[in-house]
């Protein structure tokens, strides 16, 4: 075994596979990110996620302490994200990075009341769009779509603030929890709804309007991507769909490429869509043609 230990510790074998710190900077931590998500959920939906003794009288204490803890953890993780991006040899001014991280964390916390307004609209739209939902409280408690959208809105805000890596970790935690994979770079309007949700994929450059509803298994993906002369993919080119207001996309439909789905359009289930859809158009699978029926 000693030999294996040596082989596993060799510097060469560790290239790109080992994550070390140069100068005492913090490291991205799944546990801290999980705690950050919990704190955000508690601040946005007080009383729902584990801090169940909230009352009219003590809510300010709960909110106050959660903000304090969030400021501290988030500063730390933003700092980790900022250092993560830096390549190995580069000098870091940790003190300056910490101040920048702290400012970004503050900015984020200031935006929480607006995030609550956005999520309130998402909850309301989900409740109105599902005959099985009995109350908005049930929606907040039980609907994976709300959890994934909440993580997305948190992560997207951090993207806007220029935070690397951490937003992706936040969206992956929702992906693991719900099977819904929304890239934090996507842009999504208000009153967004996802039903059931397992298998939903929303790509990094997708743009989604207001009042859009996606069912389980819907992909808003890229068709292909440009590569540079070295064969490496070119980053940052818009390659995912633009979805207009009030669009509904049914389960397992796949919408690919930088196409536009016009306002009020409807995409039927299981469809494969790679071209623009006009405003108000409705696409459904041509049923009889592609199914063979026979007696067993």
CA quadruple 61, 63, 67, 69: dihedral, nearest 10:
60
Residue 120 is a binding residue for a second copy (CB under 8 A): yes
Of residues 229 through 258, those in contact with a second copy by CB under 8 A are 231-237, 239, 251-252, 254, 256
Of residues 257 through 296, those in contact with a second copy by CB under 8 A are 264-266, 268-275, 277, 280-287, 289-296
Query: Which secondary-structure segment (H or E) carries 287?
Result: none
Residue 27 CB, shortest distance to a second copy, in Å, is 4
Residue 12 is a binding residue for a second copy (CB under 8 A): no
Distance set, CA 138 to CA 70, 105, 192, 242 (Å):
26, 31, 17, 31
Residue 128 is a binding residue for a second copy (CB under 8 A): yes
CB 258, CB 240: distance < 8 Å: yes
Please state, in angstroms and rounded to a whole number, the distance separating the CA atoms of residues 58 and 156.
Answer: 30
Q: Which of the ranges 119-127, 151-159, 206-214 carries the binding residues for a second copy, by CB under 8 A?
A: 119-127
CB 59, CB 111: distance < 8 Å: no
Residue 137 is a binding residue for a second copy (CB under 8 A): yes
Please state, in angstroms and rounded to a whole number, the distance separating the CA atoms of residues 200 and 15.
Answer: 34
- Name the DSSP letter for residue 227: B
Residues binding a second copy: what is the number (CB under 8 A)? Answer: 142
Q: Which of 36, 82, 158, 165 binds a second copy (CB under 8 A)?
A: 165
Residue 84 is a binding residue for a second copy (CB under 8 A): yes
Residue 160 is a binding residue for a second copy (CB under 8 A): no
Residue 124 or 189 having the CB closest to a second copy: 124
Of residues 171 through 210, those in contact with a second copy by CB under 8 A are 172, 175-179, 181, 183, 185, 196, 198-199, 201, 203-204
Of residues 32 through 61, those in contact with a second copy by CB under 8 A are 43-48, 50, 52-61
Residue 89 is a binding residue for a second copy (CB under 8 A): no
Residue 119 is a binding residue for a second copy (CB under 8 A): yes
Please state, in angstroms and rounded to a whole number, the distance separating the CA atoms of residues 241 and 203.
Answer: 8
According to DSSP, the β-strands at 242-243 and 207-208 are parallel
Of 174, 267, 175, 177, the C-alpha closest to 220 is 267
């Amino acid at each position: 075994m000693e030999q294996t230990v040596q082989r596993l510790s060799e510097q060469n074998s560790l290239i790109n596979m080992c994550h070390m710190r140069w100068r005492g900077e913090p490291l991205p931590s799944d546990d801290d990110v999980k705690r950050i998500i919990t704190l955000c959920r508690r601040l946005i939906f007080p009383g729902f996620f584990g801090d169940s003794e909230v009352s009219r009288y003590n809510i300010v204490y709960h909110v106050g302490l959660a903000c304090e803890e969030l400021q501290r953890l988030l500063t730390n993780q933003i700092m980790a994200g900022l250092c993560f991006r830096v390549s190995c040899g580069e000098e870091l001014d940790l003190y300056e990075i910490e101040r920048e991280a702290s400012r970004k964390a503050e900015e984020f916390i200031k935006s929480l009341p607006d995030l609550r307004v956005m999520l309130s609209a998402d909850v309301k739209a989900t409740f109105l769009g599902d005959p099985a939902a009995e109350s908005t409280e049930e929606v907040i408690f039980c609907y994976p779509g709300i959890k994934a959208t909440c993580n997305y809105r948190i992560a997207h805000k951090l993207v806007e603030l220029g935070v690397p890596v951490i937003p992706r970790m936040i969206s992956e935690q929702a992906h693991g929890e719900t099977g819904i994979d929304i890239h934090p770079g996507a842009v999504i309007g208000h009153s967004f709804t996802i039903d059931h949700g397992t298998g939903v994929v929303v790509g990094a450059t997708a743009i989604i309007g207001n009042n859009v509803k996606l069912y389980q298994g819907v992909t808003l993906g890229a068709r292909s991507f440009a590569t540079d002369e070295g064969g490496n993919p070119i980053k940052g080119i818009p390659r995912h769909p633009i979805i207009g207001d009030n669009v509904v996309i049914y389960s397992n439909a796949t919408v690919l490429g930088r196409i536009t789905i016009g306002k009020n359009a409807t995409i039927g289930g299981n469809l494969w869509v790679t071209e623009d859809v006009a405003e108000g158009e409705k696409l459904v699978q041509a049923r009889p043609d592609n199914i063979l029926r026979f007696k067993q």
